Amino acid sequence: MKKLKTRRGAAKRFTKTAKGYLKARKGGHSHLLSSKNRKRKRSLKEPIILKSGGNYKRISTLMPYQ
């Protein structure tokens, strides 16, 4: 059987944690920051942890070996 290919765009955006969850960065923290308040900018720094649900399943299929 042929090896499955990893979608490189997904591999650059998501990483697997030790427990098997997916970790991603939030969008909106690169420019136009002067109009956003401090609390919002702080919360944009923190990563998103995907534990289950539709997005988790969809992204997991894009990265079979991670």
Cα 16 to Cα 62: distance, rounded to the nearest angstrom = 12
Residue 54 has a pLDDT of 86
Residue 40: partners with Cβ closer than 8 Å, 6 or more residues away: none
Domains of the chain and CATH, by start: 8-28+35-62 (4.10.410)
Q: What is the pTM of this model?
A: 0.80
**At 66, is the pLDDT very low, low, confident or very high (cuts 50, 70, 90)?**
confident
Give 6-57 pLDDT, tens digit per residue: 999 999 999 999 999 999 999 999 999 999 999 999 999 999 999 988 889 9
Residue 8 has a pLDDT of 96
Pairing of strands 14-16, 22-24: antiparallel
